[in-house]
Structures are given as C-alpha cells and as structure tokens.
Amino acid sequence: MIHRIQEELIEKRLSSGKAIVMLGPRQTGKTTLMEKIISKLENPLVLNCDDPFIRSRLAGSNSAQLRQIIGSHRVVFVDEAQRVKNIGITLKLITDQMKDVLLLVSGSSSLELANEINEPLTGRKFEFMLYPVSWQEFYQHAGYISAMQQLELRMVYGMYPEVIAQPGDEKEILREITGSYLYKDLLSWKGIRKPEILDKLLKALALQIGNLVSYNELANTIQVDKNTVSNYIDLLEKAFVVFKLHPFTRNQRNEISTGRKIYFYDTGIRNALINNFNLMDSRNDTGALWENFMVAERMKFLHYSRKYTGTWFWRNHQQKEIDYIEEADGKISAFEFKWNPEKRFKVPSSFAENYNISDVEVISRKNFLPFVGVTWKRKFL
C-alpha cells in the first residue's frame, strides 16, 4: 500500500475536537486511507452510506436517534457521506451534541458534499483533499531506480492507485474510471443535462493541454453556447478532473490578460479520453503531456505542503511564453518545461525587463525531482 502524505496531516488533527472531512475524486484511496487511520483507534464505528439502510437511518435523524446509532463508540467514520440527504445537518448534530465523539467523513465529490456541509460545519471541521498518488508518494514507495524507470509509464497511465497497483491492466482500469466513476458524480449533478456534450468537451480539453483555451472556440467546436462551456468546466473543476491557470500580468501593454490554460489532475485520465497510450518517442504531444504532468504534480506538492502561492502562466501578444509562474511572499519564480533536457530556452526579453527576472528554471526529466517536492534523491536506494 502506498503511504499517503495526508495520513500524518490528518492524525495531527484528531484531537482538535473538530470533524475531519476528506474530499477528492473517486478511486483515489480516500476510504482506504481513512480506514487505515481509524484502525489505529479504539472501537471505531464505520457507517458506509452506500448501504441503503444506513442512509435511511442517518437522513433526518435527531440527536437522540443519532446517539442510539452511535452507542458507546467514540470514533465514527461516515463514508460516502454525500449519499445522505441533508448530511450536513446530521454531521452538525454529532459535532455539537456529542463532544466526546471523533467524527471522520469522506465523500467522492465536492459537487454534493461540500455544498451540503460548508454552512452547517463552518468552524467545526478540518477539510483535506486526496488527489491521485503524488510523485512524492510514489517515489517514497518505489524508490529512486524503480520510480525513474516508470516515469514514462506514469505520464501515460497516470497516478491512480489501482492503475499503479495493476501493471498490465492500466488501459482497462482507466477506461472504467473514465467511463463510469468520472462521469458518475457529474451526470448525477443537476447542472449536467447532456452527457454527450460533457464527453465532447472533455475530449476537446484533452487535446488542448498546454495551449491557451478559448471558451468561444470550445463552444463553436462542440456546438453549444459559451455559458454552457463555462458552467461545465466549473463542474469539472469541482469534481477534481481539471484545473485552470490564468495569465500572469502586471498590466503591461503587450501581455495578454484574459484566457486560461486547463490541465488534467491525472494524465492517465487525459490519455484515456483521447485513447492515446503511446510512450514518449511515439507521441506528437510529448511536450504538452510533460507540462501537464509537471504542473499537476506541483499542485499536489503545494497543497500537501500547505504552501500558499499564486500560480499562473505568462504570455504576450507576440506569442512569447513562460509555462509556469509562482509568486510567494512577493517573490516571483518562473519555470519552463522541456521533456528533452538538451533543449534550450531563452528568456523573453520583455519578461526579463518588465519583472527584472533573467533566470527561468527549465524543468526536464533529468532535474524535476525538487520541483515536485523530492529532495532526498538517493535515500531509498
């Protein structure tokens, strides 16, 4: 089992007196992680809301009924909580009326659960996100040699736990995740009325990673209006399928200030959508795939490390570009992604002059480890 960074972060909060809420995409290991944590605790009660009986008992229960359900247990884990109607009120009653109960909650999507619990549990919870396995976690699990040997495979097939655990079955697992789990939350959400449009939009986004995305162009491509594209992409973000980068600008005349880049949290999902599982030397999107992989891994690293930074890309009207910009504590750092470590990059003069930055770090497959949070290169040899 791959050790997850969030385990220690959650365990530090167990004595806080607040509920522990775990969100994230389906199949990322939330239930497995929470069960591992509560296995170390005394006499936990697991309430799996996939079970219709448990759903019916939790929905609309008053505090006396909840005490009867929980009994003498001092640890309660509510799994797939988004399946329970008005779950936020139920969880609020537990946290308010049963101060001696440690409450842990998981949900497969923020689309339903976050909306249900944000107001009732304001000030009563610590919220954690679990993404597909990070490179930090995979590296620690596999060791330097094995991890680096699998770099191309991980870019192609992604970082979902089941995909990593079952080599040889990656395509079948990814198609199941993409075809069933990925759409399951989205298609049950009231904002998604036309699954065929969602499918076309995802494929269009998959083909545009690393490029500037125009909502107008997407709307024309899939034959819908711009607002529908915007709404569907917002839902894809809430379901942890994609995320955006916006342009970096300080109101310089020659810089673009609108537009965005859209990346997938998992490159395996992206490749499954376009049915391209070729390795790097047989692809025409190697650079874009490397860029997506690096930006996604950086986002996981920043989130798990509790590093709060602004993140952007930079481009001017002359089509000069820098792939990725970070700003933390007033310091700007710039990065360019090149799969080929021999490929050169020249810092655009307008960027260097406007921001007094002449050094842009090129991140290649030879030097990427510190960028994604791995600083102990040979520790596990």
Collapsing DSSP states into helix, strand and coil, what is residue 342? coil
| pLDDT value of position 191 | 61
Q: Rounded CA gap, 312 and 379, in Å?
A: 32
Q: Rounded CA gap, 250 and 106, in Å?
A: 40
Tens of pLDDT, residues 71-115:
999 999 999 888 888 888 999 999 999 999 999 999 876 566 777
Q: Which residues pair with 310 in a beta bridge?
A: 327
Contacts of 351 (CB under 8 A, 6+ apart): 314, 316, 320, 322, 334, 357, 360
Contacts of 333 (CB under 8 A, 6+ apart): 325, 326, 327, 361
Q: Is the pLDDT of residue 339 over 70?
A: yes
Collapsing DSSP states into helix, strand and coil, what is residue 243? strand
How many residues does the structure list for the chain? 381
- Asked which of 56-65, 129-138, 158-167 is least confident by mean pLDDT, the reply is 56-65
Question: Are 120 and 96 within 8 A, CB to CB?
Answer: no
Tens of pLDDT, residues 183-206:
766 776 666 777 788 889 999 999
Both tokens of residue 354?
A: 């406007």
Q: Which residues pair with 127 in a beta bridge?
A: 21
CA 316 to chain centre: 29
Q: Rounded CA gap, 297 and 277, in Å?
A: 20
Q: Is the pLDDT of residue 1 over 90?
A: no
211, 286, 326 from 271: Cα distances, Å? 16, 12, 27
Question: Are 22 and 33 within 8 A, CB to CB?
Answer: yes
| pLDDT value of position 371 | 97
Tens of pLDDT, residues 272-315:
999 999 999 999 999 999 999 999 999 999 999 999 899 999 99
Q: Rounded CA gap, 278 and 270, in Å?
A: 13
CA dihedral 360, 279, 304, 371 (to 10 degrees): -20
**In the predicted model, what is the mean pLDDT of residues 47-57?**
94
Residue 197: how many CB atoms within 10 A of its CB?
A: 16
Rama region for 161: left / alpha / beta (φ>0; ψ in -120 to 50; rest): alpha
**In the predicted model, what is the mean pLDDT of residues 345-349?**
92
Collapsing DSSP states into helix, strand and coil, what is residue 286? helix
Q: Across all residues in the chain, what is the average pLDDT?
A: 91
Both tokens of residue 304?
A: 């798990």
Q: Is the pLDDT of residue 378 over 60?
A: no
Q: Is the pLDDT of residue 347 over 60?
A: yes
Question: Are 317 and 261 within 8 A, CB to CB?
Answer: no
pTM for the predicted model, two decimal places: 0.92
